[in-house]
Chain A
Amino acid sequence: MRRRDLMRQGIAACACGCAGSTQGQTLPLVVPNFTWDYYDPSNILIQETAYLAEMSLDGLLPNSNLPLLPIAQLNNIDWYATQDIPSLMMMQIDQVPGLETELTNLGYTIPCVTTRYGCDYTLTTLGQVEGLNWDYLYKFPSVLNLTLGELPSLAGLTFAMMPGLGTLPFSQIFQSLTGIPLPLFVGLFPSMVEVVARRVQRGDAAIFAIDRGHPWHTGEYRYLNSNMRVKLDTITTEVPGTATFHLEILICPFPGICFWSPPLPWPTAYEQSYALYIPPGINNFIPVYPPPVVYNPNRNIPANPGNNPLDPGDCSGCYGVAMQAYATAISQIEGGYASVGIWIARYRTRPLGRYQYLGSRSDVRAVILQNPGGAAFLAKVDSGVRPSGQEVLKNFTPAQQDSLFRTDTCNNLKIASGQIDPTTGQPFTGDRLIERAAQIHFSGPSRARIDWGRSDDLGRLSVYGYGKTALANYKRALAKLSCSRT
């Protein structure tokens, strides 16, 4: 779909009249320096981009195979209750081939609709089957085989209203709709700039804007053309996130003498309610970006622990522990990818990143040293100077943090599984295995500290309490993954 088509549909809404837009000027476009190491844009979800999330599905109908897309092929579908598929409950049972048999086999009583010819089961709707609302879709292959086009009232639905569509990665939407792999960054959404807040637990781990799928950090410019540029000044941490910008215009009073104007007003943006139009430049030129990271369509196939970054929906793990859920559980206690902990003078280091690994750890240092500038970064950390979140992200990238965590966790689980649970006299298993692995993350593998602090002098936060908190977080996170229901 071409950009102008999207604009016609209001997807690429131009905020506040696009005062800075000067598409068509012949001056060469200045390609800004984009940073790429913070976040994998291919994993941004539809529901995180407001204009797409609220986009009516029927807007895509003429140009896609959307009506032919079986529900079962929505890669990211959460196996929500049947009632969560809008209008599904309005369907008559006989409109879904095979459903009547499935319902009967599962023990449902199908109420009949009384007609003058007697009791007619074929007129019964799904909504009239008692208890069906709360059952999960995976129980009904017949429903999963329905195509989106077969659902009543498809027109008017939005991405956000359809489980599985809203949670589809932004970069994969057209692949899913058309079956043709089509990268996001070749001009499909050349004008999208969204304010997206990535939050971890109750705090704000990292806030940034997305320009055409690429991170736009505070302090960076985006060029409307060679004469006009917009700078992202601040993004606040409350919910919703708010981004402030200013505009600068290149003023050339005399030939060869140019300067940027003082800051000029630019509309404030609010998370998930704003898009900033940046024109593609002459001849529809779009800056060349690095190739996007290819989304892994086999995300439910166990990945090789220790090698792959964590991926939303990834059910792989070690010792039966789903790594994605476990990482979420720990990060809810620790921090976000850009988190910088306090200076610990005693050990001359700081905790860094999502899992707050100490910068003095040999494995952390080895990873950081792999990056250009890593040695300088470590020297900075060791000296007590507080690095910025951006520096952490650059020198201890999210992928590296996740990879290290995965390796570390697998090792912790291995250690824990070899220790004896004092409450049972048997090796740690199940929930207790998770608790113990978290305890090891907290305070090391010493057997002497198993369940330490259950009733003694560690203050409010004990080894024992940490394990309990991590387990509770894990269960909550796991409930959101498809693997918890299969």
Chain B
Amino acid sequence: MSLWLRWSLCFALLLPVQAQSRDLQTQVEGIRSVSQVKGQLKGLLESQKECGVGICVDALSTGVCDLVGALDIRVDGKIIGEASGFTDKVLPITAPDLKLMKLIWSQCKPTNYLYTNYPSVVHVGYNPSAKAAATVDKALKVAP
């Protein structure tokens, strides 16, 4: 991921709460534990296997990265490692889970695919290599 994009993504996550949409704020504040996020990620990845069209893959991929980005706020920037201090209650995260989340985040790649469905041209989606996908699927117990 290019530096400017990493910065822009991080900047987006660092926007003042009142400048963000209520949905996004709710999403971040709705995270109560890492295991909850892992369950949601599992659901997204299993759903993605049933996709028949590109937009389905794209939306669910974006959902994966959104979730990890949101979790990063709640674990005080330990995943992305760019910023901290944006949550009142820092959630604990184990080393294996942190490693897993970092792996997922590393597979979040910028794309302008189907940009018409997003408020900006570029967004990020979880588009892993085959090796990374296998590792993540195994860790999350994603059904084949």
Contact of A201 among B52, B116, B128 (CB under 8 A): B116
Within 8 A of A (CB), among B31-61: 40, 44, 47, 50-60
Contact A357 B52 (CB under 8 A): yes
Among the 9-residue stretches A15-23, A314-322, A454-462, the one with 4 or more Cβ atoms under 8 Å from chain B is A454-462
A451 lies within 8 A of chain B by Cβ: no
Tell me what chain B mostly uses at the interface: helix, strand, loop, or mixed: helix
A104 vs B99: C-alpha distance in the bound complex, in angstroms? 79
Contacts of A459 on B, CB cut-off 8 Å? 59, 62-63, 66
Within 8 A of B (CB), among A364-389: none
A466 lies within 8 A of chain B by Cβ: yes
A469 vs B129: C-alpha distance in the bound complex, in angstroms? 31
Contact B53 A358 (CB under 8 A): yes
Known: A344-B127, A357-B52, A443-B50. A461 touches B57 (CB 8 A): no
The residue of chain A having its C-beta at the shortest distance from the C-beta of B111 within the complex is: A342
Contact B116 A361 (CB under 8 A): no
Highest count of chain B CB atoms <10 Å: which of A346, A351, A469: A346
Contacts of A358 on B, CB cut-off 8 Å? 51-54, 57
On chain B, the number of residues with a Cβ less than 8 Å from chain A's Cβ atoms is: 33
Tell me what chain A mostly uses at the interface: helix, strand, loop, or mixed: loop
Known: A345-B130, A358-B57. A460 touches B52 (CB 8 A): no
A444 vs B55: C-alpha distance in the bound complex, in angstroms? 12
B27 lies within 8 A of chain A by Cβ: yes
Contacts of A442 on B, CB cut-off 8 Å? 53, 55-56, 59
Known: A333-B116, A345-B127, A443-B47. A457 touches B53 (CB 8 A): no
Can you list 23 A-B pairs, Cβ within 8 angstroms, ordered by A?
A202-B116, A203-B116, A334-B53, A334-B55, A344-B127, A350-B54, A351-B54, A351-B55, A357-B52, A358-B54, A441-B53, A442-B55, A442-B59, A457-B44, A457-B63, A457-B67, A459-B62, A460-B62, A460-B66, A460-B117, A461-B55, A461-B58, A469-B117
**Residues of chain B having any CB pair with chain A under 8 Å:** 23, 27, 30, 40, 44, 47, 50-60, 62-63, 66-67, 111, 113-114, 116-119, 127-130, 133
- Can you add 4 more A-B contacts, CB < 8 Å, to A443-B51, A449-B47? A341-B113, A345-B130, A444-B51, A458-B44
